[in-house]
Chain A
Amino acid sequence: MSEPLLQVDGITKRFGGLTAVDDVGFSLEPGTITALIGPNGAGKSTLFHCVSGFIRPDGGTVRFNGRGVSRRSAHGRAQLGMVRTFQIPTAFNRLTVFENVELAARDQPADRLVGALVPGLGRLRRSAIRTRTNDLLETFGLADKADDLAGELSGGQRKLLEFARVLMTEPQLLLLDEPLAGVNPALGERLFAHVNRLRSDHGMTFLFVEHDIRTVMDHSDRVLVMAQGALIADGDPETVRRDPAVVEAYLGGGE
């Protein structure tokens, strides 16, 4: 069997007395779309932080593409192709929507200080990046906002902008923390249509957190369920939906 794209083992994260993530392990095969669900406070975002390198877990390892990345910085992991979004969407408010997406492109010679000091360096690459930026903005219905400041966007638009921005980095694995929160349903459908296309055309892999059970059922091949820090179920959407432990977690969780 080929090596999984992402292999997570024994991740544990404690905040004081609270164990936010409790010995969680799973792996993702390339070209799959996996949902991560669980009641509020289950530890989903914290797990994302640990996997993407934004916080250091108290224990556990992460392997990506066959190499151990547990000691890598967050930007180091992103450079390898494992890119995440945030539950509260981030945007560079005083940059334009266009710039927000454009700056995310990798291999821009002039976005390093040394490169920036050489006039004209990377001009070709830059025009390729421009084209790609325009395409992405088109895809997410942000084209007519290209020159607005990102700070002027609505919450849902910021989610889309963030999604466009991370796609600009041409990732292999995308970790999406509640990508649909605040996004209107029609655009949400478009977003997932795009996810599907990226999977079939480019073999991209997705792990997303989502609360809406319909979206999860419709769009994922597999579902991971967390409750109180632990992984309590893992399987295809139908099976998971009927799993008594999952039902218990949602009903008994005192949501």
Chain B
Amino acid sequence: MELLAEIGPWGAVATVAGIYAIFAMGLQVQVGHGGVDNFGQVAFFLIGAYASTILVEQHGMGLVAGTLAGMAIAMVAAVIVALPTLRLRGDFLAITTLAFGEILRNVAVNERGLTKGSAGIDAFTFRIDIVRELRRSLRDQDILVDRLAPLLILTWVLVLVVALVTWLLLRTPWGRVLRAVREDDAAVRALGKNAFAYRAQAMALGAAWAALAGTLYAWNQVHFSPSGFEPIVTFAGFVIIIAAGLGTIWGTVLMAILIQGVLIEGSRYWLDTGLPNAQEASLRYMVVGLALMLIVRFRPQGLFGSRAEMAAADE
């Protein structure tokens, strides 16, 4: 029997798209629901990738424990970032969070003892230990699987879990207060609710999703370095949530597939410009930039959102 015996290039693309769906979901909680314009989401992606990898590969922690630890560290970091910055006005918040991401990337480059610097670091436990074992035991039962299939399946299961948990959480009274905070901070405080805490929690929840995505990224890359954590990662997340529409959950998943999957990762397979690779890559990101501009200008509510969402994003 064959079970995803050969997933091909599109399987790899789908894994990346799933990772970005989780990453963007975190941003959606922060920006779309908490009203926190976090331009440094990649920082938590980095924390998830490095923390889990260091704990698993160098300190022998289990994969699940390492992943959860990475998410927990990202949440703590998010609260620490939130404490001073959430009081800042919108564009200063954007600049400081952006700077936070860049500071962490700098640290990852420079603290070689911890991160091995720009040379990069290995995260092979999942691919080697788990996947190899799994394939071997399945082969004994005559089931063939691609070596990339387990992560593909795991990623998409997690996408569904993350989307569902997010969707359910936002429908609880907690999610309702969070939406109220985004609309009128003062009115919420006047009711005896700590508006600041809600924003910080949105920030932390979004950071946890980003860290989970970061861990999956590390497993998928097997070897990764600080250059994978440039601000463009955050901006790709913004393109996804804006194109989907602020506040939408399932739209975010769909847009992650279309933008990160089909457009950014996948276009090399369906689009033949005849240009050299490097130029084609530049062209892809020109299109991403242009798309962001066009959406913001002509359809700020995204494909699935309502115009009011975008307006309410501004306090």
Contact = CB atoms under 8 A, between A and B. Distances in A.
Interface in B154-177: 169, 172-177
A126 B205 CA distance: 24
A104 B184 contact: no
Interface string A136-177: 000000000000000100000000001001101100000000
Contact of B176 (A73, A83, A99, A122): A99
A117 B169 contact: yes
A85 B195 CA distance: 16
A73 B191 CA distance: 12
Contact of A75 (B173, B192, B201, B308): B192
Contact of B195 (A75, A76, A95, A113): A75
B130 interface: no
B105 interface: no
B191 A116 contact: no
A103 B177 contact: yes
Contact of A92 (B187, B190, B201, B205): B187
Contacts of A112: 174
A76 B192 CA distance: 6
Contact of B194 (A75, A108, A151): A75
Interface in B173-206: 173-177, 179-180, 183-184, 186-195, 201, 205
A91 B174 contact: no
B312 interface: yes
A74 interface: yes
Interface string A81-105: 0011110001111110001000110
A162 B186 CA distance: 13
Chain B at the A interface: SS class: helix
Interface residues of A, number: 38
Given A110-B172, A116-B175, A103 B180 contact: yes
Interface in A55-81: 73-76, 78-79
Contacts of A165: 191
Given A95-B179, A104-B191, A113 B205 contact: yes
A115 interface: yes
A14 interface: no
Interface string A42-57: 0000000000101000
Given A92-B184, A108-B173, A115-B174, A166 B190 contact: yes
A243 interface: no
Interface in A103-141: 103-104, 106, 108, 110-113, 115-117, 122, 126
A78 B174 contact: no
Contact of B179 (A52, A79, A94, A113): A94
A112 B169 CA distance: 10
Contact of A94 (B173, B205, B308): B308
Contact of A91 (B172, B184, B191, B308): B184
Contact of B190 (A78, A110, A115): A78
Nearest to A74: B189
B193 A111 contact: yes
B174 A110 contact: yes
Interface string B93-117: 0000000000000000000000000
Contacts of B186: 54, 74, 86, 90
Interface in B284-315: 308-309, 312
Contacts of A110: 172-174
12 contacts: A78-B189, A85-B190, A86-B186, A93-B308, A103-B177, A106-B192, A110-B173, A111-B193, A113-B169, A113-B174, A151-B308, A162-B187
Given A95-B183, A110-B174, A151-B308, 11 more contacts: A54-B189, A74-B189, A86-B187, A90-B184, A95-B179, A99-B176, A108-B173, A113-B174, A117-B169, A126-B173, A169-B192
